[in-house]
A and B are shown apart, each in its own frame.
Chain A
Amino acid sequence: MISAKTSMKTSLLGAALASLMLTVPAVAEEIHVYNWSDYIDTSLLTKFQKETGIKVVYDTFDSNEVLETKLLAGSTGYDVVVPSASFLARQIKAGVFQKLDKSKLPNLKNVWPEIAKQVALYDPGNQYAVNYMWGTTGIGYNIDKVKEVLGPNAPVNSWSLVFDPANMKKLQKCGVHFLDAPTEMIPAALNYIGENPDSKDATVIKKAEPVLQAVRPYVRKFHSSEYINALANGEICVAIGWSGDVLMARDRAAEAKNGVKIAYSIPKEGAVMWFDEMAIPADAPNPSGALKFINFMLDAKNAAAATNYVNYANGNLASQKYIDKGILADTAIYPDAKTVKKLYITTPYNAKIQKLVTRIWTRVKTGN
């Protein structure tokens, strides 16, 4: 009797649940995008939803390392992620991403072949990723203060500004920040002394250490983001930094009307280029939606809208006719042909050399 009652109850409950499930409207298609923060014009997301009916859930991260850890742990739940190319290369080898189905990406016709060629050094054949934005690592400086300390002929267009101890000794008064990123700083030092910045040879890499040690005493801080504010409010006068960040410092100082004038220079010896790439994780829940999103972002007008918002160069040649003239003409964002020739890229180290690089960097920073 009792069992009959309970079984009836459960069947009723089952029926109720089933009807409940049936009446629930079909869940709208979603994709999860994981990108750097403030790195997209959010009206593009609503536009995408309007065009395709797919809802974009947009999350942001603060460093390549965080993204990489999540990817390597697996099952992130994201459909599109945007790592930097030097990280992407290793992640591809670890089997993190799936190959792009290029038949679903008709807008690939818009890409800038020059940029695609460079990125192919990380992602052979451009099989896994499409460029979103790219930039350089150079020198940001306070125009007036540097002039005041080093005179009107200050070598602001050369790495000797930060790697020559004589200059640094004078600059320490007004403050210098270095990036806390060994994989950027060691190639820059190697490039300065005329070695191959992308060298994977331990004996060559070790040559960077004395260069960095010689200027170490004059560096106020090694940090990868604080220099933006520090430059803008005049606390420091020189920083090795990323192009977009220095430009942001410039704009913020102008906005605050505090009399600080910031400029960005790509040194004549050359500078490293970096790329942020859109890719689809191997275990993405909705890869077809992800492809639609990437194709959408490859549209010339959409790519131009993204660049106009974030002030970074993109890898989309067709978009250039829609980009604001001021951005396109700014050689700090779109360097001229002569400067582009001097730019170089660096590929990832293997585990052993990476340890050496980190170790050298720790020694430079802490003296241990």
Chain B
Amino acid sequence: MSRRFSWFNATSLTLGFVFLYLPITILVIYSFNSSKLVTVWAGFSTKWYGVLFRDQAYLDAAVITLKVALVSSTLATILGTMAAWVLVRAGRFRGRTLFSGMIYAPLVVPDVITGLSLLLLFIALGLNRGIGTIILAHATFSMCYVSVVVSSRLVSFDQSLEEAALDLGCSPFDAFRSVTLPIIAPAVVSGWLLSFTLSLDDLVISTFASGPSATTLPMKIYSQVRLGLNPEINALSTILISLVTIGVIASSLISKRASVRRQRQEQQALAQS
């Protein structure tokens, strides 16, 4: 397969990543800016990292945001995968049109209205607003993204594989785990990543769904806009990016080594036979 990794593919990947990482490079550089301005370079300094680590409100908001993003995207992935299965595999049932409408509708409704309607619902139910309600809100709109992605993968593979597994005596759960899940895995992972991203960046819906003292990072950042952003957020983003990058490189090195070892073992096995 790698033989076919043509210059065309290499170019499109390179161009794509240059486009994606151009602003990020600037963001990282400005985290070392000594000025308070996010856009004017005034010399090298690491002071914003110090400011960040002393700013408890900022760190608290970052922790809340990560918690919300992790829980809501996991919930959304489970619910969205179920919803995708229902859409593609469950066949006809009463209320199917309503169901598929409800999958797309949350994507259509603007954030302000989604946020307001959830706020009114939470007030009517007497729910205490806080992290929990933000998670509920995020999981709801994210699951729609997940189910759209997963169902696109589900429709494009043959149901007969699952049926074969069932015929061979697998329980439906086993069939799902050992046949369906590996096939749809790239879509499920994509869905989780998209949900996580949506949750991390959401401002409007979180603002409505939260209560006192549950402030997410975007809420914190936007509340500073009127009085001017400072490079603290650049510093925080840089740390997050570096951590994830290290994690990704490490895991890909490990998986590469594992695949090399597997190949070697296979060769040895061949040589011995």
Contact = CB atoms under 8 A, between A and B. Distances in A.
Contacts of A78: 212
Given A34-B212, A69-B116, A233-B40, A252 B223 contact: no
A255 B42 contact: yes
B212 A59 contact: yes
A76 B42 contact: no
Contact of B224 (A37, A66, A244): A37
B37 A256 contact: yes
Contacts of A37: 220, 223-224, 226-227
Interface residues of B, number: 28
A38 interface: yes
Contacts of A257: 42
Interface stretch (A89-97, A106-114, A187-195, A224-232): A224-232
| Chain A interface main SS type | mixed
Contacts of B119: 70, 73
A274 B36 CA distance: 27
A39 B227 contact: yes
A18 B227 CA distance: 48
Contacts of A32: 212-213
B40 A258 contact: yes
B95 to A, nearest CB: 31
A201 interface: no
A66 B207 contact: yes
B129 interface: yes
B37 A74 contact: no
B226 A245 contact: yes
Contacts of A77: 129, 211-212
Contacts of A60: 215, 220, 223-224
B251 interface: no
B228 interface: yes
Given A34-B212, A73-B119, A256-B42, A225 B226 contact: yes
Interface in B35-66: 35-40, 42
B15 interface: no
Contacts of B229: 229
B123 interface: yes
A60 to B, nearest CB: 4
Interface string B107-125: 0000000001001100100
A74 B123 contact: yes
B104 interface: no
B161 to A, nearest CB: 48
Contact of A233 (B37, B223, B225): B37
Max chain B C-beta neighbours (<10 A), residue from A61, A62, A228, A233: A62
7 contacts: A38-B227, A66-B207, A77-B212, A229-B37, A229-B38, A252-B37, A256-B42
Interface of B: 35-40, 42, 116, 119-120, 123, 129, 207-208, 211-213, 215, 219-220, 222-229
Given A62-B219, A232-B40, 18 more contacts: A32-B213, A37-B227, A60-B224, A62-B222, A62-B224, A62-B225, A63-B226, A69-B116, A225-B225, A225-B226, A228-B228, A229-B39, A229-B229, A248-B228, A252-B228, A255-B37, A256-B37, A258-B40
